[in-house]
């Protein structure tokens, strides 16, 4: 199933990341010779001939302004306004952490389902249609299921998603509402993922992060492209991003490299830091121990969306951090909750546990001197807090209940101000 190429398509072939073997642009993801992962290769001359800063700026306000860098052939990709999320100057958070040039790339408001997964799914389902699939699916820790179900609904594709049975209520409901078939698997993500590989083979479905993975994962490059464009066509000095499978992290960097190769930005080193939860930190552990292999772990953390114990791209993430002078650090569940709170309080952005992890790691790296206070630093917030409400419930206080009378308000206000003064006195003691 290979679609006919259009005049503007820039795709060349699939290639094994390990042994270099080449394959046609089909629905496959593993090298038949060495079992290495396959990656999409492009015709760089064709990209250069099509693309300038101006052609990109004239394009749609979505990931599809970078279509020449994405693995699709269609002139009409699925476009629900995904991407081009705000890059916000984080002055208040920066002051709190002692960072003078801090920016937040806010995919907590990505469209349509409020996580960066809308990027990869828009690409994967566009490619799935090109390859002739009518049923699509995914193995998901929650956000991917939301996104696959929603975008499949819009595109009129049948959809069957697989999740660990213990996911947060908001993520399950935020999938069911689009009416896919939802399989809740009694097991962790790694077991779900293994099952989906078998189902992909037996049913002939297009699984966005399995047999369509080479196309899917390319969507994350747009998080690199957008930051470079939104910074006025330059690369940052330093990024901090969450690590689950490790794919997002490496693809952001691939996006930066491709912009350099296409002559769109000047080359410069970008320090790449990765964030994990201590309850599932196989990549951070390998980093700390100086290993170049990943020892799988059993996840146990509130940061479920990044709880992948056997990360497919872990070694590539490890390699990238080391090569660029970055760190891979892990934080505890209480630190993750504090990370969610500090981001909300200072910047008005409500992120899920993965974002809390990233902010907490940013804080740790800033404190330990791993981030230069004057470096142009971009922190990637990848999902919305409304999906993991359980994580902060109980940690953020309660409303003050009052009667609808001015006197009742005045008494409650007075009490709250007194309490705040007492808290400050405790801080000062």
Where in 167-206 is the site for a copy of itself (CB under 8 A)?
A: 169-170, 172-174, 176-179, 181-187, 191-192, 194-195, 198-199, 202
Distance CA 200, CA 348 (A): 41
Applying CB under 8 A, the site for a copy of itself has a residue count of 82
Answer for which of 23, 341, 372, 375 binds a copy of itself (CB under 8 A) is 341
Q: 58 CB contacts (<8 Å, ≥6 apart)?
A: none
Between β-strands 11-16 and 38-42, what pairing exists: parallel, antiparallel or unpaired? Answer: antiparallel
Give the shortest CB-32-to-a copy of itself separation in angstroms: 22
165 contributes a contact to a copy of itself by CB under 8 A: yes
- For 202-250, the DSSP string reads HH--EETTTTTHHHHHHGGGHHHHHHHHHTTS---SEEEEE-SSSHHHH
Q: Which stretch binds a copy of itself (CB under 8 A): 5-13, 206-214, 256-264, 408-416?
A: 408-416
Give the shortest CB-184-to-a copy of itself separation in angstroms: 4
3-state secondary structure 4-71: CCCCCCCEEEEEECCCCCEECCCCCCECCCCCCEEEEEECHHHHHHHCCHHHHHHCCCCHHHHHHHCC
Within positions 346 to 375, which residues make up the interface with a copy of itself, using CB under 8 A? 346-350
Residue with Cβ nearer a copy of itself (185 or 244) = 185
340 contributes a contact to a copy of itself by CB under 8 A: yes
On whether the CB atoms of residues 327 and 370 are closer than 8 A, the answer is: yes
Q: How far is CA 20 from CA 32, 33, 37, 47, 217, in A?
A: 11, 10, 10, 22, 18
149 contributes a contact to a copy of itself by CB under 8 A: yes
Within positions 110 to 139, which residues make up the interface with a copy of itself, using CB under 8 A? 110-114
Nearest-CA neighbor of 236 among 362, 370, 378, 374?
378
Within positions 199 to 238, which residues make up the interface with a copy of itself, using CB under 8 A? 199, 202
Residue 88: strand pairing partners = 104
Neighbours of 112 (CB within 10 A): 17
Give residue 366's Cα distance to chain centre.
22
86 contributes a contact to a copy of itself by CB under 8 A: yes
Residue with Cβ nearer a copy of itself (10 or 146) = 146
| Largest distance between two CA atoms of the chain | 78
Nearest-CA neighbor of 191 among 279, 306, 308, 284?
308
String marking each residue 14-53 x if it binds a copy of itself according to CB under 8 A: ----------------------------------------
426 contributes a contact to a copy of itself by CB under 8 A: no
Q: Which stretch binds a copy of itself (CB under 8 A): 9-17, 262-270, 344-352, 370-378?
A: 344-352
Q: Which stretch binds a copy of itself (CB under 8 A): 38-46, 152-160, 235-243, 365-373?
A: 152-160
Q: Which stretch binds a copy of itself (CB under 8 A): 163-171, 249-257, 261-269, 318-326?
A: 163-171
58 contributes a contact to a copy of itself by CB under 8 A: no
String marking each residue 371-400 x if it binds a copy of itself according to CB under 8 A: -------------xxxx-x--xx--xxxxx
Residue with Cβ nearer a copy of itself (97 or 172) = 172
Give residue 376's Cα distance to chain centre.
20
Give the shortest CB-405-to-a copy of itself separation in angstroms: 7
């Amino acid at each position: 199933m290979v679609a006919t190429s259009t005049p503007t398509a820039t795709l060349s072939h699939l290639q094994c990341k390990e042994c270099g073997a080449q394959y046609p642009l089909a629905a496959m993801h593993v090298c038949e010779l060495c079992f290495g992962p396959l990656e999409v290769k492009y015709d760089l001359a064709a990209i250069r001939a099509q693309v300038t800063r101006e052609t990109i700026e004239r394009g749609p306000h979505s990931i599809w302004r970078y279509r020449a860098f994405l693995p699709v052939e269609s002139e009409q990709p699925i476009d629900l306004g995904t991407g081009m999320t705000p890059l916000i100057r984080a002055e208040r958070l920066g002051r709190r952490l002692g960072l003078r040039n801090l920016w937040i790339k806010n995919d907590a408001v990505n469209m349509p389902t409020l996580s960066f997964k809308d990027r990869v799914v828009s690409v994967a389902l566009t490619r799935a249609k090109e390859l002739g699939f009518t049923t699509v699916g995914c193995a998901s820790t929650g956000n991917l299921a939301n996104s696959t179900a929603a975008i499949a609904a819009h595109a009129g594709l049948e959809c069957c998603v697989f999740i660990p049975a213990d996911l947060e209520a908001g993520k399950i409901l935020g999938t069911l509402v689009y009416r896919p078939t939802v399989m809740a698997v009694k097991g962790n993500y790694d077991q779900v993922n293994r099952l989906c590989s078998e189902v992909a083979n037996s049913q002939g479905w297009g699984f966005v992060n399995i047999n369509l993975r080479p196309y899917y994962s390319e969507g994350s490059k747009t998080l690199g492209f957008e930051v470079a464009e939104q910074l006025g066509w330059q690369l940052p000095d330093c990024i901090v991003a969450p690590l689950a499978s490790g794919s997002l992290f490496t693809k952001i960097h691939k996006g930066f490299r491709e912009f350099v190769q296409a002559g769109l930005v000047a080359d410069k080193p970008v320090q790449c830091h990765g964030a994990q939860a201590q309850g599932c930190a196989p990549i951070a552990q390998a980093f700390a121990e100086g290993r170049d292999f990943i020892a799988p772990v059993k996840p146990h953390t509130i940061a479920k969306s990044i709880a992948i114990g056997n990360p497919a791209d872990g070694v590539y993430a490890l390699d990238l951090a080391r090569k660029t002078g970055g760190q891979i650090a892990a934080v505890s569940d209480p630190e993750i909750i504090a990370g969610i709170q500090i981001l909300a309080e200072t910047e008005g952005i409500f992120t899920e546990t993965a974002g809390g992890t990233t902010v907490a790691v940013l804080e740790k790296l800033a404190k330990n001197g791993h981030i230069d206070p004057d470096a142009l630093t971009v922190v990637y917030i990848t999902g919305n807090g409304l999906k993991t409400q359980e994580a902060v419930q109980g940690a953020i206080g309660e409303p003050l209940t009052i009667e609808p009378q001015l006197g009742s308000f005045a008494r409650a206000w007075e009490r709250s101000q007194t309490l705040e003064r007492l808290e400050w006195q405790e801080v000062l003691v």
